[in-house]
């Protein structure tokens, strides 16, 4: 990492305030996530979100809940979202310098930096804060550059696609979970095929062959002789935010964003492990919808649950 960590002042203030509030209320350590994006190897932090659930929490240690971290991550489109973590050392009055990166903090950062180099770790005592990244397994302090007004505009370009794909499979009779897993593999393969003939224009990506007339997101499973026929039909408007001048990154990001959306809808729409397909004539799952909301300072993905999630009809 060559430059500083760019941090919007409101985000910096937000994490100091959160740490201070938790310290006053309970004396405990506070944890939260840093949200933004990377350009090259430099992190941009535009927002923070405090953890609300903890694995454990005390004055000298705390662990975030992995489920909550996954939920926070799923709220943002590809290339935007969690770029780091912050936590507090609320024992300023007990020591000369409460801001340091402990061995535990190194271990926590190591699990994240494995996924993203230059994943940031901010440590605060509630009054001041310091930034760290991992270098050769060791914490290295990096300079924060506090910017009054930091936004996505002018730094990342937005690309959208408008697709209505359908995916069909016929399988030996099996479980709903196995059908969903097979569908996910099929989606991944079909997307790779569509991508080979995709084109990128200003602000949009065209993916040929993914345009049925579907208007909502639905999974249908029906018996077909001694087999199961599954049909997944979707209407999606994925958006990705990519640094200018990298068309191949646009395609890679949009492919992964579409896959993220479909996996999310299948997971969130219904619980496949709770569906018993024995003797079923027709199983229909309405998967709800996802859309991008261009909120400030970062765009968010909004999920809308279906009114009636599943309909299951068995042989009389």
Least separation in angstroms between CB 101 and Zn ion: 7
Q: Which is nearer to Zn ion, 96 or 308 (CB)?
A: 96
Least separation in angstroms between CB 118 and Zn ion: 19
Least separation in angstroms between CB 54 and Zn ion: 14
Q: Which is nearer to Zn ion, 102 or 160 (CB)?
A: 102
Q: With binding defined as CB under 5 A, does residue 47 bind Zn ion?
A: no
Q: Which is nearer to Zn ion, 75 or 87 (CB)?
A: 87
Q: Which is nearer to Zn ion, 105 or 125 (CB)?
A: 105
Q: Write out the two tokens for 271.
A: 């619980």
Q: Which is nearer to Zn ion, 105 or 257 (CB)?
A: 105
Least separation in angstroms between CB 88 and Zn ion: 8
Let me know: does 183 contact 234? Beta carbons within 8 Å.
no
The window from 5-13, 41-49, 104-112, 151-159 that contacts Zn ion (CB under 5 A) reads 104-112
Q: Which of 57, 59, 74, 102 is the binder for Zn ion (CB under 5 A)? A: 102
Q: Which is nearer to Zn ion, 47 or 105 (CB)?
A: 105
Distance CA 204, CA 228 (A): 37
Least separation in angstroms between CB 8 and Zn ion: 23
Question: How many residues form the binding site for Zn ion (CB under 5 A)?
Answer: 2
The window from 102-110, 161-169, 244-252, 295-303 that contacts Zn ion (CB under 5 A) reads 102-110
Let me know: does 237 contact 191? Beta carbons within 8 Å.
no
Q: Which is nearer to Zn ion, 69 or 190 (CB)?
A: 69
Distance CA 84, CA 82 (A): 6
Least separation in angstroms between CB 144 and Zn ion: 17
Least separation in angstroms between CB 59 and Zn ion: 11
DSSP the chain: --S-EEEEHHHHHHHHHHHHHHHHHHS---EEEEEEEEETTEEEEEEEEE---EEEE-SS-EEE-HHHHHHHHHTS-TT-EEEEEEEE---GGGSS------HHHHHHHHHHHTTSTT-EEEEE-SS-EEEEEEETTEEEEE-EEEESS--STTTSEEEE--BB-EEEEEEES--HHHHHHHHHHHHHHHHHHHHHT-EEETTEEE-TT-B----S-EEEEEEETTEEEEEEE--B--EEEE-TT-HHHHHHHHHHHHHHHHHHHHHHH--GGG---TTEEEEEEE--EEEEE--SSS-EEEEE--SS-EEEEE--
In the chain, what is the straight-line distance between the N-terminal and C-terminal CA atoms, in Å? 65
Q: Nearest residue to Zn ion, using CB?
A: 105
The window from 34-42, 101-109, 111-119, 135-143 that contacts Zn ion (CB under 5 A) reads 101-109
Q: With binding defined as CB under 5 A, does residue 125 bind Zn ion?
A: no
The window from 66-74, 98-106, 154-162, 286-294 that contacts Zn ion (CB under 5 A) reads 98-106
Q: Which is nearer to Zn ion, 110 or 193 (CB)?
A: 110
120-124 and 81-88: which strand pairing? parallel
Q: Which is nearer to Zn ion, 130 or 257 (CB)?
A: 130
Q: With binding defined as CB under 5 A, does residue 105 bind Zn ion?
A: yes
Q: Which residues bind Zn ion (CB under 5 A)?
A: 102, 105
């Amino acid at each position: 990492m060559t430059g500083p960590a760019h941090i919007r002042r409101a985000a910096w203030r937000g994490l100091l305030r959160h740490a201070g509030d938790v310290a006053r209320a309970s004396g405990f350590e506070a944890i939260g996530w840093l949200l933004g994006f990377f350009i090259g190897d430099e992190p941009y932090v535009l927002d923070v979100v405090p953890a609300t659930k903890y694995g454990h929490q005390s004055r000298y240690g705390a662990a975030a809940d992995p489920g909550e971290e996954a939920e926070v991550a799923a709220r943002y489109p590809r290339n935007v979202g969690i770029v780091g973590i912050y936590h507090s050392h609320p024992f300023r009055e007990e020591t000369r310098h409460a801001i340091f990166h402990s061995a535990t903090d190194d271990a926590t950062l190591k699990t994240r930096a494995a996924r993203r180099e230059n994943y940031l770790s901010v440590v605060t005592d509630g009054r001041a804060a310091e930034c760290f990244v991992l270098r050769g397994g060791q914490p290295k302090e990096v300079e924060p550059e506090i910017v009054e007004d930091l936004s996505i505009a002018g730094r990342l370009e937005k690309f959208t696609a408008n697709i209505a794909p359908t995916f069909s499979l016929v399988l030996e009779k099996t479980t709903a979970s196995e059908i969903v897993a097979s569908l996910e593999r099929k989606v991944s393969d079909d997307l790779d095929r569509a991508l080979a003939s995709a084109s990128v224009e200003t602000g949009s990506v065209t993916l040929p062959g993914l345009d049925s007339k579907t208007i909502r997101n639905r999974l249908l499973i029906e018996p077909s002789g001694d087999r199961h026929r599954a049909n997944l039909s979707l209407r999606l408007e994925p958006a990705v935010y990519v640094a200018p001048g990298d068309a191949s990154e646009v395609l890679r990001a949009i492919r992964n964003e579409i896959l993220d959306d479909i996996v999310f809808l299948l997971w969130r729409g219904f619980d496949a492990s709770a569906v018993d397909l024995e003797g079923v004539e027709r199983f229909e799952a309405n998967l709800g919808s996802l859309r991008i909301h261009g909120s400030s300072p970062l765009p968010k993905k909004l999920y809308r649950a279906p009114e009636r999630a599943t309909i299951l009809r068995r042989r009389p």
